[in-house]
Structure 1
Amino acid sequence: MPLSAPPLGLYVHIPWCVRKCPYCDFNSHASAESLPEAAYVDALLADLDLDAPRIGSRGLETVFIGGGTPSLFSPAAIARLLTGISERLACAPDMEVTLEANPGTLETGKFEGFRLAGVNRLSIGVQSFDNAGLEQLGRIHGADAAIAAAHQAKACGFERLNLDLMFGLPGQSLGNALADINTAIALQPSHLSFYQLTLEPNTLFHEHPPSLPEDERIWEMQQACRQALISAGFGQYEVSAWARNGDHCRHNLNYWQFGDYLGIGAGAHGKLTDPATGRISRYWRIKHPRTYLAAAGATGTVGGESAVSEAELPFEFLMNHLRLRAGFTLPLFEARTGLSVECLDEPLRQCIGEGLLEQDGNRIYCTDRGWNFLDNVLEMLM
């Protein structure tokens, strides 16, 4: 069955932070006093020169600059990066450009500079508005700085604003969690990322676990905060993503809908579909910034690449799509994987029979029960 070329995004990884948070398993590194901004932007654009031939004339619909802490870079560096991207790739007129920011790295004037550079969506890593909670998480900002950052972003014209919040924090009570969510709602962001703290391997928290609330308390927090968000006009469109007035993150939606994306920067990952050969591949860059910079401009920045096998395709597609409230359509499964939906017939029938999935015409989506046991649903579908 022929494949179609899905929408295309670009992920840019900037790996430096002021310090490494104890819960973070991302490719991030404590920064030196002076960052190699110019050399790193040169390396990013060299990556893009290497990748551009693989996508031909396909247009770019989203850019996401993540980290690390991208707001450590100057607006001038971000402007040069975005100008270089537009010079190398065909960019959609309404291209979404997101930049992640940490409240502890933002001095007056930076937000305005990022907006003038071409960033039109800002994502601020708040995590909590409770100073004791922030200290336990190893964050470098306090509650006042987080609130001030949100106000500055709105004042500078960022209508599309995401706030990152976590729940289930060490020592957190239901009242603390609700206070966090109500403070976030009062700041009037267009989007909230709201997710549970998990102890990931290769983190300080995994090695030395903090005392977390019991599962029952965490469930109460999640449900109470969920109701507060619904009452405030937010809709949950993905497991950890909430939006007002349909202001979904288009870049992340492309991930969840099994779209394509280029990945540039230390440790960045990409996924590309070749309709001509039917090949879907994933690739990744060298992780350590020093090694990455030393290989800039050469194919050596690619740490590896692998094709997604036919056996893996259903899981790759479903594990992302079923995170979405809307689920997926059967024709889209065939268009993105090149497989017949017949391979899903029996497991879909079983999941629907057990009340984990629902079918509405060609659309398949999780029930509330299925969403709460998504890992089990995916196991059954495989």
Structure 2
Amino acid sequence: MTIHLLHPVGIRSQEVNFQAMPPLSLYIHIPWCVRKCPYCDFNSHEARNAFPEKEYVAALVRDIELALPQIWGRKIYTVFFGGGTPSLLSGESVAEILRQVRMLLPLNLDAEITLEANPGSVEAERFAAYRDAGVNRLSLGIQSFDDAHLQALGRIHSADEAKRAIEIAQRHFDNINLDLMYALPQQTLEQALQDVQSALQFAPQHLSCYHLTLEPNTLFYRNPPPLPDDDASSEMQQRIEALLTTHDYEHYETSAFAQPKKRARHNLNYWQFGDYLGIGAGAHSKLSFHDKVLRQMRHRQPQAYLDAVARSAPVQEEHEVAAADLGFEFMMNALRLNEGFDSALFQERTSLPLLTIRRELDEAERRGLLVRDQQRIAPTELGRRFLNDLLQIFLRE
């Protein structure tokens, strides 16, 4: 889903004044991968040879130290290693990062600590070390169990390696997410459903099922492959959702399905407009203060990031979010949740009264895209299918 921001509306002549801070998460970006996938628009860079692992780990620790004044005294509830390919890190490096996190920050005792991993054999050998380091949730980038589709996606693992990696992961973790993609080049409905059936054989605690989209600045965007049409991909989505429902997975967010009590807490904090400190090359942060909300981005290029940290200046861009933007930003996140959000959460996370977006809520409800009562606001089934249209209501022409 791509939203082009114009001028968000809803907050008129208001000032930000937080009574309490939102929950805080920590995101750690590892920018290297073995090979850049043609659909990937994340900040990732091919590590053709070795990469400066020890230097980068030291820079991450220094990055946290430099950020401490902005988050002083706030507890960390979730940690997420994303990339790139975090499983290129050794177990020792992950252990050192988490050791420093615990020394520098008050980490919640039952914090969810997730690491993204590729299913390659080299990475799978490290799963036990990641668990010993303190990781308690593993997210495997499977994408498909079909070798032809994996090849089309530029993935470097095979279907057999994917299955083997899941088996190894399940020996060490009791909370696993599998990433799958559908509407792949020349994929049929039957093949999309078979990928999900293959995943269900392992009964993972969480499944993420993403529609392949052609993002700018990717090889697929410049040279589009033959993809299923809108009708075919819509049927894939509906049939996948129905299949997972019959297997007792809760479809709680646009692309996320979970067994009971296994929702991704880190991602939920994003969707509920919580705060997050992002460290590492290109990482983004959203940080609330009593009178403002800041967004930050670290330097994207790995070497530029390392050089910037050495100068004690890892943040490349920083801006204060205008009060007029907060309503749209909140809705853009919270309306991804199928169950919607508690009405009181809007004011809690934006510091602004819900009545500031009453006109937009009225319009969304009139068009059948949203339902609300005194306790909850949620997208309808129509609103979930046409989420972009729903979000456009909260933008000014």
User: TM-score range, shorter-chain basis?
Assistant: over 0.9
Q: Could you tell me which of 87, 111, 122 is aligned with 2:103? A: 87
Look up the SS of the partner of 1:189 in the other structure.
Answer: coil
Shift of 1:105: 5.4
> Which residue identity does 1:250 align to in structure 2?
R
Look up the SS of the partner of 1:270 in the other structure.
Answer: strand
In structure 2, the CA distance between the partners of 1:107 and 1:359, relative to structure 1 (3 Å rule), is: closer
Q: Which runs of 4+ in 1 moved over 3 A?
A: 105-109
CA deviations on 1:19-53 (whole Å, 9 max, x unpaired) are 10000000000003222111000000000000111
Q: Could you tell me which of 197, 211, 225 is aligned with 2:212? A: 197
Shift of 1:219: 1.1
How far apart, in 2, do the equivalents of 1:289 and 1:249 lie? 28
Shift of 1:254: 0.5
> Which residue identity does 1:298 align to in structure 2?
R
How far apart, in 2, do the equivalents of 1:33 and 1:115 lie? 26
- Map of 1:268 onto structure 2: 283
- Map of 1:138 onto structure 2: 154
User: Is 1:33 the equivalent of 2:49?
Assistant: yes
Identity of matched residues, %: 49
User: Is 1:356 the equivalent of 2:363?
Assistant: no
CA deviations on 1:205-230 (whole Å, 9 max, x unpaired) are 00000010111111111111111101
- Map of 1:242 onto structure 2: 257
Q: Could you tell me which of 334, 345, 348 is aligned with 2:358? A: 345
User: Is 1:217 the equivalent of 2:217?
Assistant: no
User: Is 1:9 the equivalent of 2:25?
Assistant: yes
CA deviations on 1:64-95 (whole Å, 9 max, x unpaired) are 00000000110000000100110100010001
How far apart, in 2, do the equivalents of 1:380 and 1:60 lie? 34
- Map of 1:129 onto structure 2: 145
Look up the SS of the partner of 1:13 in the other structure.
Answer: strand
User: Is 1:291 the equivalent of 2:307?
Assistant: no
Q: Could you tell me which of 46, 53, 62 is aligned with 1:46? A: 62
How far apart, in 1, do the equivalents of 2:245 and 2:284 lie? 34
TM-score calculated relative to the size of structure 1: 0.97
- Give the conservation status (yes or no) of the 8 Å contact 1:106–1:149: no
Look up the SS of the partner of 2:151 in the other structure.
Answer: helix
Shift of 1:299: 3.6
Q: Could you tell me which of 71, 77, 83 is aligned with 1:67? A: 83
In structure 2, the CA distance between the partners of 1:32 and 1:296, relative to structure 1 (3 Å rule), is: farther
- Give the conservation status (yes or no) of the 8 Å contact 1:2–1:335: no
Structure 1: runs of 5+ lacking an equivalent: none
- Give the conservation status (yes or no) of the 8 Å contact 2:17–2:292: no
Shift of 1:379: 1.2
- Map of 1:301 onto structure 2: 314
- Give the conservation status (yes or no) of the 8 Å contact 1:331–1:362: yes
User: Is 1:311 the equivalent of 2:324?
Assistant: yes
Look up the SS of the partner of 1:258 in the other structure.
Answer: coil
Identify which of structures 1 and 2 has the higher relative contact order when contacts are C-alpha pairs closer than 8 Å and 6+ apart.
2
How far apart, in 1, do the equivalents of 2:209 and 2:63 lie? 32
Shift of 1:108: 5.4
Q: Could you tell me which of 350, 364, 373 is aligned with 2:386? A: 373
Moved more, 29-38 or 133-142: 29-38
How far apart, in 1, do the equivalents of 2:126 and 2:320 lie? 41
How far apart, in 1, do the equivalents of 2:124 and 2:347 lie? 49
- Give the conservation status (yes or no) of the 8 Å contact 1:25–1:201: yes
- Give the conservation status (yes or no) of the 8 Å contact 1:72–1:105: no
How far apart, in 2, do the equivalents of 1:257 and 1:300 lie? 29
Look up the SS of the partner of 1:103 in the other structure.
Answer: coil
Shift of 1:297: 4.0
How far apart, in 2, do the equivalents of 1:291 and 1:366 lie? 42
Q: Could you tell me which of 51, 74, 82 is aligned with 1:58? A: 74
User: Is 1:185 the equivalent of 2:204?
Assistant: no
Moved more, 102-111 or 283-292: 102-111
- Give the conservation status (yes or no) of the 8 Å contact 2:121–2:165: no
Shift of 1:329: 2.3
- Give the conservation status (yes or no) of the 8 Å contact 1:47–1:297: no
How far apart, in 2, do the equivalents of 1:259 and 1:179 lie? 36
Shift of 1:353: 2.0
- Give the conservation status (yes or no) of the 8 Å contact 1:165–1:193: yes
CA deviations on 1:220-271 (whole Å, 9 max, x unpaired) are 1111111110111111100001001130111111011110110100000001
